[in-house]
Structure 1
């Protein structure tokens, strides 16, 4: 069965190094919290708000050992006026038998405001 695993983070500046680093931290946390291996992943969608233009955040997945062949696509979020700025969102499509209620969706930095109901206590990333 394929399950969607969501996550999001934010950056403070539209700089390539910050975008890649924040995305890598987010992806590694999702991978760790959900015990995901690259061969379990069908694809990854990454979206950014329109104020993020300095880099493709998908570049971060290539920094993770063994994830070279996972298909990744970047896209732009709908520019809703009240939306969270400088936000990177990810959706991993993962082959797993883990029940939906046991999936760990990860929201870091200012993105925790998007889904406070999914907040993991004591997360300081």
Structure 2
């Protein structure tokens, strides 16, 4: 079992944009790590306090994750933190070693982890 991190910065807090961006993030995490839906154990999503338009888990369900445990929470409201960010931590079954995991940071979120950004 491994944990995979990912994040994406949104341009705006708009429902369809949040859902499309979350689908992009989830799909990129899965593809980058050669995973299928059957490899998922659970996915934890967080959003910055400025995102209110929808739960990211809705996008995951749209991708077929109806039987995967999903959780949505809010990030801490830290002064100066990057705005409009959806993050995820996916717990997966994979033969990949920890060092072989590809963590995914898209759009402006790449600045969060320049050492890991794809």
SS in 1 for 2:115: helix
Matched, 1:51 2:35: no
Q: Encode CA deviations 1:39-58: one digit per residue, 9 max, x unaligned.
A: 21110000000000010011
TM-score, normalised relative to structure 1: 0.90
TM-score, normalised relative to structure 2: 0.96
Q: Encode CA deviations 1:15-56: one digit per residue, 9 max, x unaligned.
A: 100100100000000010111122211100000000000100
Q: Can you give the 5+ residue segments of structure 2 that lack an aligned partner in the other structure?
A: none
Aligned to 2:37: 38
2:69, 2:76 → 1: CA distance? 22
Aligned to 1:15: 14
1:108-119 equivalences in 2 (<5 Å): 108-119=106-117
Give 1:97 shift. 2.1
Q: Encode CA deviations 1:52-100: one digit per residue, 9 max, x unaligned.
A: 00100111111214x2211111000011112110000000001122101
SS in 2 for 1:112: helix
Number of equivalent positions: 118
Task: List, as ranges, runs of 4+ consecutive aligned residues in structure 1 with deviation greater than 2 Å.
Answer: none
